[in-house]
Chain A
Amino acid sequence: MQYSRLSSAVESPNHTGVSGKDERADPAHSISFWGSTGVFMRESIRFYLGERLVTLTEVAPDQTLLDWLRHEGRTGTKEGCNEGDCGACTVIVVRLRHGKPMVKAVNACIQLLPMLDGAAVFTIEDIAVGNALHPVQEAMIGLNGAQCGFCTPGFVMSMVAYRNAEQPSDDDTAINTALSGNLCRCTGYAPIVRAMKQALAAPDSAFETALPALKAKLLTLQDGQDVQFETTRGAVFLPSSTEALAQYLQAHPETLIVAGATDVGLWVTKAMRPLPRVAFIGQCPDLMLIERSADGLSIGAGVTYDAASEALSGWLPDFGRLIGRIGSTPIRNSATLCGNIANGSPIGDGPPALIAAGALLHLRSGDQKRTLPLEAYFLAYGEQDRRDGEFVEGVTIPPLAEGTFYRSYKISKRFDQDISAVLGAFAVRLDETGSVLEARLAFGGMAATPCRASRAEAALVGSRWDAASLDRARLALADDFSPLSDMRASAWYRQTVAANLLTRFFEESRGETSRLEKAGGLVHV
């Protein structure tokens, strides 16, 4: 295959692993080539940065958006932690969803630059138009929302994104959720929340009034082409279809598949691991599907937690509630449900919640497809049932059988944006007499993989759903698991709380509710 560079690109030996400069020309003029799947193929990525169209070739697959922005002189976006936990680097990414521009806050530090293809990116420098401050900025000044100021640009971006959410509410809980990905060490947040409320009541600013016009600009970037190029630091592939992805992975089975990069981003920023070949699947249209059918609710591998949350909340309300505690708003705007599965983490929150619901995982390799119960995917620590060249296409959550009671519980040191010490997700199905027909008790944080508590389940099945069975199940948990002690919790705490969560589940199935909730519903931001 012939590779050549954009003739207009400026080759510059800068040190960010990127060359190529602004392309102010009509994007249609970008040169394309016939790709391996017979459709047009592009050898550059294109996105809007504020007003200007940027076309880049030779973008290394491990180039972060944050480093690139700061190298471009946009130093308003700060690095606080370089792992997506503090929000100092928050920027806004706008994409079309169902034809509508969706304004989303994301962590620039763990966005890999090729992922931005087709998007519009706004940084703090784009929010005030001329001398006219955005209402969020006015409110942050007027209500003393900034002290040291270092987290402030990130907060402003999250706040602007929230103001442009579908239904922003001035409810404290909703605002907490919107700001869950931004840490402030100075103010104690109270003045920032006050500023958010004031800004919600303000009329639209120039930033908002310009948004509708963005649709046309974003549409011009949607050319349906594969993007494929190689750089000295690694190869980049953005498939336009699952077909293209399947073929690419057959040809390059060593390819790392990246959707939201909220995990892989840290391989780059913290472990300094090279990424020799990456397929970025986050914008592959075939993988963006959310479908309800008689089989259940199916979620494609490119669907973010944010995009999936509405459908999941409708399908399995308690899972919807849990999603509000997975990562933070900017993380959920990037992270995918399937990525949370595919990486095989023993402490991912999605898998146990899905296992308890009886979810099925769909894998594909070339033309071969297979489906397996989700729990079967996790073989051992760091080992999953995914073969060379195979990829996760999606997951299906079947409807809960009649008589099933389902709940998921997350236990962590901090309510928002924390990794679970224990995640317990449980489903029991009772017959008319109150006996347990089926029990699915899934845990995260208790073993080397997300998994079911088979002995505790056995203690329940066939018995009456009563306090005596509960006690047997609690005891059996000690045989099911011998969890680790680490910085999140001791083995003792994990074991004790796991049993206590069964108690809570039992009580809630009886209509007793005693859960402490800091953030009730899920907010779409």
Chain B
Amino acid sequence: MSEPVKPVQVCDRDAAAAPDRSRDMKHESALLHVTGRALYIDDLPEPKGLLHVVPGLSEKAHARLVSVDLSAIRAVPGVVRVLTATDIPGENQTSPVHANDEPLLAVDLVQHVGQPIFAIVATERAIARRAVKLARIVYEERPAILDIQSAKANGSAVVWRPLIMERGAVEPALREAPRTIRGSLTIGGQEHFYLEGQVALAQPGEAGEMRVWSSTQHPSETQHLVASVLGRPHHLVTTEIRRMGGGFGGKESQANGCACLAALAADITGQAAKMRLDRDDDMVITGKRHDFKVEYEVGFTDQGDILAVDMELAARCGWSADLSGPVTDRALFHADNAYFYPDVRFRSLALKTNTQSNTAFRGFGGPQGIVAAERVIEEIAFATGLDPLDVRLRNVYGTGERDVTPYHMVVEDSISELIMTQLADQCAYRERRETLRAFNATSRTLRKGIALVPVKFGISFTATHYNQAGALVHVYTDGSVQVNHGGTEMGQGLHTKMVQIVMREFALPADKVRITATTTGKVPNTSATAASSGADLNGMAVLDAVTQIKNRMIAFASEKWQVPEDQIVFGPQGVLIGEERVAFRDLVWQVYFARISLSASGFYKTPKISWDATTGRGRPFYYFAYGAACAEITLDLLTGENTIDRVDILHDAGESLNPEIDIGQIEGAFVQGAGWLTTEELVWDGQGRLRTHAPSTYKIPACSDRPRIFNVELLKNAPNREATIYRSKAVGEPPLVHGVAVLHALSDAIASLDDYRSCPRLDAPATPETLLRTIMALQAKSGHGGPI
């Protein structure tokens, strides 16, 4: 706190800004987290007479509801009310994209196992959970389409228009290519497994008001849907969220169900109502990351140069549109990853199925597109005998040439080659690759593999209107500041970064800046905290608000002290006004006394972007975030078990707002991405029942699954070339893609069985079983016989 401001800097406001110590700030809630005092929605003091809501779920994947007899439930002591669709005063509709295909409670028809049909409102949660089994529902079953294969075979409906991206003439290019390969790839879905399950608490107020505390990434949408379900204008509903216990996209639209049902229960009974899903119900009801089936054909040269790529990306979307449209779009936006395809055609297929409605999950389809792109690279590498890294380097986007994406956006700053080369040097990729191959030549049951995979990730919502944000900053007369913005905190450190911006601009210590819960009452009409955009959008809105107040203070001081505005500098010792230093709170007081507003609402919209899905052209992304990961694994050929031995990551966070928080995001995203592609397997049975509906059966990485050696670095001296908040880059989603390196390292190990001449075509998730199957297929092909 005692760093002196050097007088020589006083004339230049920018140069005089205090060294930014806020970059080292720890998570703003860290102390509360470690002491158990951080309040999540289920920890809030319970209002008097609180009722509990538990949903009753469909047991059939696709059926007409012949009769729904809930009389036995109503007779249970403690059950206050059983809600069905007929109790909904407004719209029985929660589609986040206004597709009108997602009733809050089923009417006549159920479309997946786990779809809510009714909701019990009871004095105790346990009473409702026990009573739910007393429902007598008669179903008339209809044929159910459960997966991509049967959806395609049966010509199932799509929940969103197919997107076609095309540049050049892919068919002639493939015909004329010296070599072509055609193949397909299965990419599994992923359960979010936020540690805090879905939860909402609703409290009715006067004159039709409803306050909803919801664990939501999208408070405005939650507000709008609660209002719509209750048949009220938006201004009667307020949504609030201080923090979530994890989101990862799983609370972007999926939080709405609990919020709406809690609000409905509260509205009908006139008492506060809480809905907190049991973990199993949560996993059975809510959507997950989309699984994909990708068909691809690539034309290339013997030197490994890609000439043309044709790809169809089909996704299991579940029973309703939800966000599947933009998700499948984003898969296409990333099916090039970091590579230039001279002639290219991508098609999406958003298939309707009788399963949970798949939704946003960190990366939003992008990682699936990248997995497909990397399979194509692998095919070429094993077909040509080249090191996959060399195939990657040959095909990477250039700058000024070979720089147009399949959606006709120019890549202005391709740094993939730089990052891959630097990382390969740093982690001794080439030497280690030779060492591993020597090991494999003599090892019978254990094989090692290595892969270095880049990521290029487009930053901005592809729905252009979402790229706006608001903030509200109050400076109080004691010099303390309260900041509020439209983004939500789910662990990613967004609130910390917003506090840092205020600290940096006003040169205040952390204890003078308080960030409050996100509420639609303070900042309206917000976008979801999603698409990695939280700090980019809200940071600029906060900066706008702070700058307005700061400029008012400067104008006031300039006039009062008769000092030019550029000689007024906010420093940690106070505000330097010419030669005079005035404490921040004293200046604030004087500004207040002069009747000048110390509150401002800030606003930001991302410049430069546009996107037209009908033409498949535009600049959907403000910029790209880059990175690369190198993974080394050991694989047991007898069982398919494996270990991640070492991972090195070099990641581009621009001029990082908070390096420690950003590295934390990268470490966590890598492990989440690796889990998605290895142990995390979603299994449905033939009746469409999700069999992996709890952590006992669905296996996210545990502590021992993290890489044994784990080096993460931020790319240095790499400010964003676009004018983002302090030239930083978004860091939420892009590093999830680093997990793809593990899939390819496993594939590399399997490829050793046929002397690296065949692409193992390893599907995801690469569970021990999938690995063993792939191992044995390659053993059979290479004639090396059965297990050892």
Please list the residues of chain A having a beta carbon within 8 angstroms of any beta carbon in chain B. Answer: 15, 70, 74-83, 85-86, 88, 123-125, 127-128, 133, 136-137, 140-142, 144-153, 156, 172-173, 175-177, 179-180, 182-193, 270, 272, 411, 413-419, 421, 486-490, 492-493, 496-497, 499-501, 503-504, 507, 514-516, 518-519
**B42 & A150 in contact (Cβ 8 Å cutoff):** no
Stretch of B454-462, B592-600, B614-622, B694-702 lying at the A interface: B694-702
DSSP majority for the B interface? loop
B445 at the binding interface (Cβ < 8 Å): yes
Contact A497 B772 (CB under 8 A): yes
Listed A/B pairs (22) with beta-carbon separation below 8 Å: A15-B124, A70-B42, A75-B42, A86-B695, A124-B35, A148-B195, A150-B40, A150-B194, A150-B196, A150-B246, A185-B248, A189-B671, A189-B701, A189-B702, A411-B768, A415-B704, A487-B691, A492-B773, A497-B640, A500-B639, A504-B638, A514-B444
Interface contact A125-B667, CB-CB below 8 Å? no
Q: A80-B196, A414-B679 are in contact. Are A493 and B772 (CB under 8 A)?
A: yes
In whole Å, how far is A196's beta carbon from the nearest beta carbon of chain B? 10
With A85-B694, A141-B26 known as contacts, the answer to whether A415 contacts B705 (CB < 8 A) is: yes
Of all A-B residue pairs in the complex, the 5 with the closest CB atoms, nearest first, are: A76-B36, A148-B491, A150-B245, A149-B33, A188-B671
- Report yes or no: A190 in contact with B195, Cβ–Cβ below 8 A: no
Contact among B31, B36, B445, B493 with A141 in the assembled complex (CB-CB below 8 Å):
B31
Chain A CB within 8 A of B333 CB: no
Residue of A nearest to B444 (CB): A514
Complex Cα–Cα for A414 and B642 (A): 10
Is the beta-carbon distance between A82 and B643 smaller than 8 angstroms? no
User: A272 vs B278: C-alpha distance in the bound complex, in angstroms?
Assistant: 12
Task: State whether A419 touches B279 (Cβ < 8 A).
Answer: no
1/0 per residue, CB under 8 A from A, across B27-43: the answer is: 10111111111111011
Q: A487 and B692 in contact (CB under 8 A), knowing A147-B493, A148-B245, A411-B641?
A: yes
A128 lies within 8 A of B35 (CB):
yes
Task: State whether B772 touches A147 (Cβ < 8 A).
Answer: no
In the complex, what residues of B have CB within 8 A of residue A503's CB? Answer: 638, 787-788
* Inter-chain contacts of A137 with B (CB < 8 A): 34-35
The residue of chain B having its C-beta at the shortest distance from the C-beta of A153 within the complex is B36
Q: Which of B39, B195, B634, B787 lies in contact with A151, CB distance below 8 A?
A: B195
| Residues of B with C-beta under 8 A to A188 | 667-672, 701, 706, 710
* Chain A residues positioned under 8 Å from B195 (CB to CB): 78, 80, 86, 88, 148, 150-151, 183-185
Q: Given known contacts A133-B34, A148-B195, A516-B446, is B679 in contact with A413 (CB within 8 Å)?
A: yes
Q: Are A124 and B36 in contact (CB under 8 A)?
A: yes
Complex Cα distance A193/B702, Å?
Answer: 12
Residues in B neighbouring A514, C-beta threshold 8 A: 444-446, 636, 638
Contact of B130 with A by CB under 8 A: yes
In whole angstroms, how far apart are the Cα atoms of A492 and B767 in the complex?
14
B706 to chain A: which residues have CB within 8 Å?
Answer: 188-190, 193
B246 touches A185 (CB 8 A): yes
Report whether A82 and B196 are in contact in the complex, using a CB–CB cutoff of 8 Å: no
Q: In the assembled complex, which residues on chain A have CB atoms less than 8 Å from the CB atom of B639? A: 411, 497, 500-501
Distance from A363 Cβ to chain B, minimum over Cβ atoms (Å): 29
Query: In the complex the two chains form, what is the Cα distance from A137 to B664 in whole Å?
Result: 17
> What are the residues of chain A within 8 A of B248 when measuring CB–CB?
185
Q: Which of A78, A149, A489 contacts B29 (CB 8 A)?
A: A149
Partner of B702, one of A173, A416, A421: A416
Contact residues in B for A172 (Cβ distance below 8 Å): 708
Find the B residue at minimum CB distance from A519.
B704
Known: A142-B26, A414-B705. A272 touches B130 (CB 8 A): yes
B36 touches A148 (CB 8 A): no
**Which A residues are CB-close (under 8 A) to B446?**
514, 516
B754 to chain A, nearest CB (A): 20
Near A by CB (< 8 A), chain B positions 769-787 give 769, 772-773, 776, 787
Closest to A75 in B: B43
Q: Does B577 contact A (CB under 8 A)?
A: no
Residues on A with C-beta less than 8 A from B130 are 272
B243 interface contact, C-beta 8 A? yes
CB–CB B27/A186 < 8 A: no
Does residue B133 face the partner (Cβ distance < 8 Å to A)?
yes
In angstroms, how far is the closest chain A Cβ from the Cβ of B443? Answer: 8
| Chain A hits for B668, CB < 8 A | 147, 184-188
A67, chain B: closest CB distance, angstroms: 8
Which residues on the B side are within 8 Å of A124 (C-beta)?
35-36
| CB–CB A190/B667 < 8 A | yes
Give 18 A-B pairs besides A184-B703, A503-B787, A518-B643 with Cβ atoms closer than 8 angstroms: A80-B195, A81-B694, A136-B34, A148-B196, A148-B244, A151-B245, A152-B38, A183-B193, A184-B195, A270-B280, A270-B694, A414-B702, A416-B703, A487-B691, A496-B776, A497-B640, A500-B639, A503-B788
**Is B17's beta carbon under 8 Å from chain A?**
no
Q: Which residues of A contact B700 (CB under 8 A)?
A: 183, 185
The answer to whether A500 touches B196 (Cβ under 8 A) is no
Residue contact A144 to B703, C-beta cutoff 8 Å? no
Minimum C-beta distance from A169 to chain B (A): 15
Residues of A near B33 (CB, < 8 A) are 140, 146, 149, 152-153
Docked Cα-Cα span, A60 to B211, in Å, equals 35
Cβ of B246 and Cβ of A183 under 8 Å apart?
A: no
Residues of B contacting A153 in the complex (Cβ-Cβ under 8 angstroms): 33-34, 36
Q: Which residues of A contact B30 (CB under 8 A)?
A: 140-141, 144, 146, 149
A123 CB contacts on chain B under 8 angstroms:
36
**Which residues 668-723 of B have a CB within 8 angstroms of A?**
668-672, 679, 681, 683, 691-692, 694-697, 699-706, 708, 710
Return the chain B residue nearest A474 by Cβ: B787
Q: For residue A444, give the distance in angstroms from its CB to the closest CB of chain B.
A: 15
Q: Which residue of A lies closest to B681 (CB)?
A: A413
**Given A518-B643, A519-B704, CB of A185 within 8 Å of CB of B681:** no
Contact A496 B772 (CB under 8 A): yes
Q: Report whether B704 and A416 are in contact in the complex, using a CB–CB cutoff of 8 Å.
A: yes
Q: Check B767–A187 contact: CB distance below 8 A.
A: no
- Write the nearest CB–CB distance from B244 to chain A, whole angstroms: 6
Q: Any chain A CB within 8 A of the CB of B200?
A: no
**B167 within 8 Å of A (CB atoms):** no
Nearest chain A residue, comparing its CB with the CB of B644: A518
Residues on A with C-beta less than 8 A from B768 are: 411, 413, 421, 493, 497
Q: Is B119 an interface residue (CB 8 A)?
A: no
Is B74 among interface residues, defined by CB-CB distance under 8 A? Answer: no
A124 to B773, CA, bound (A): 45
Assess whether A180 is in contact with B35, with CB atoms less than 8 Å apart.
Answer: no
Contacts of B697 in A (CB 8 A): 419, 487-488
Check B661 against A417 for contact (C-beta < 8 Å).
no
Are A176 and B42 in touch, CB under 8 angstroms? no
Closest B residue to A181 by CB, please name it.
B702
Compute how far the CA of A492 lies from the CA of B642 in the bound complex, rounded to whole angstroms: 19
With A and B bound together, what is the CA distance between A173 and B704 in angstroms?
A: 8
Residue of A nearest to B491 (CB): A148
Chain A minimum-CB-distance residue to B129: A272
